[in-house]
Copies of this chain bind each other. A is one copy, B any other.
Amino acid sequence: MKLGQIGEFGLIARFKEKVFRPEKRVVVGIGDDAAAVRVSSKQLLLLTTDILVEGVHFDRRLQSFWQIGWRAMVANVSDIAAMGGLPSFALVSICLPQTISIEQAEEIYDGMQAVADEHHFQIVGGDTVSSPRDVVISIGLSGDVEEKSLVTRGGARTGDLICVTGELGGSQAGLAMLQLANSDQKSNFASLPQAEWSIVRDRHLRPQPRLKEARLLAQSGQVHAMIDVSDGLAGEVGHIAEQSCVGAEIYREKIPVGSQTQRVARHLGLSVLEFVLHGGEDFELIFTISPAKAAGVIEKVRQKTETPISIIGEVLPAGEGIVLVSPQGNREPLLTEGYRHF
């Protein structure tokens, strides 16, 4: 075909079609918190999904159905946040065994809808089917992000500071307490002050996604890499290191842990470091930023959200590995395996 047959605008249209082939539209594919695809010259569509299975990801003896729905939706919102975006539309699929009542099913939806209401997005569709045995919840969530605000796991640079929002380990401490309260050792549980117990419990049962903080960080234009903590600090730092082709050191005493989490860990005779490194599901944000810009950005986020941000480490060259540094300066390899599903 010759140019004359289609003209200049025909050529542009063909070119555009070529450039905008599906493959070409994928800016971030499989392997980040969400995929990012181009919808216009400046705007990207984020797509993420999570599937939760009863007995693996949640336990209805420990959580209400509302809380199960809330938590499932928060996990997806947190993924969109970690890319620097805002959630827009959700698709919700649930498999329900015959033993679940309509009221219980509605509770799951209500918990999900509460997250949508709080963060101004909409559930636009889904699927509800029967299941022989277990409740399974699958959520697909889209989000919007300007291309210039997109933050991936892969942008960390040697010399960056590694930062984390809020506090870590609380969700795992809450889960440990819930399991204890539901076990034969209730007396041990009862001896813990109720105020501390309720704080860590809520960290597990009603987690909050760091959406506002993530947007401020992304829009600052200074954050090089970001991820949300769904599988524990060790695993998430590992993901950033792997995808950015860098190493990292984490200063053990700088990791922010709430006093309640510490007391609960002591009370249970469990390691608070274990909660933090491998516990997961805190939905805090880990990000890297150049040292010159860190103070200003951290202060801005604190002012606008009251959320503290801690500097917990530094990005190293790839050859240096990923290490945990003790207060005495001892260095040991930080295992970078998150929760293993298989």
Chain B residue nearest to A92 in the complex (CB)? B49
Contacts of A122 in B (CB 8 A): 22-23, 26, 29
Q: Which of A52, A124, A142 has the most CB of B within 10 A?
A: A124
Do A89 and B35 touch (CB < 8 A)?
yes
User: Could you say which of A132-140, A148-156, A307-315 contacts chain B?
Assistant: A132-140
Partner of A93, one of B23, B39, B51, B125: B51
User: Could you say which of A40-48, A199-207, A212-220, A289-297 contacts chain B?
Assistant: A40-48
Shortest Cβ gap from A316 to chain B (Å):
29
Number of copies: 2
With A45-B39, A89-B37 as known contacts, state yes or no: A57 contacts B142, CB within 8 Å.
no
With A29-B124, A138-B93 as known contacts, state yes or no: A129 contacts B341, CB within 8 Å.
yes
Do B342 and A49 touch (CB < 8 A)?
no
Do B48 and A45 touch (CB < 8 A)?
no
Enumerate chain A interface residues (CB-CB to B < 8 A).
Answer: 21-23, 25-26, 29-30, 34-35, 37, 39-40, 45, 47-57, 88-89, 91-96, 98, 120-134, 136, 138, 140, 142, 341-342
User: What would 9 more interface pairs be, CB under 8 Å, given A30-B124, A133-B133?
Assistant: A22-B120, A26-B122, A35-B91, A47-B124, A47-B125, A51-B138, A53-B131, A53-B132, A56-B132
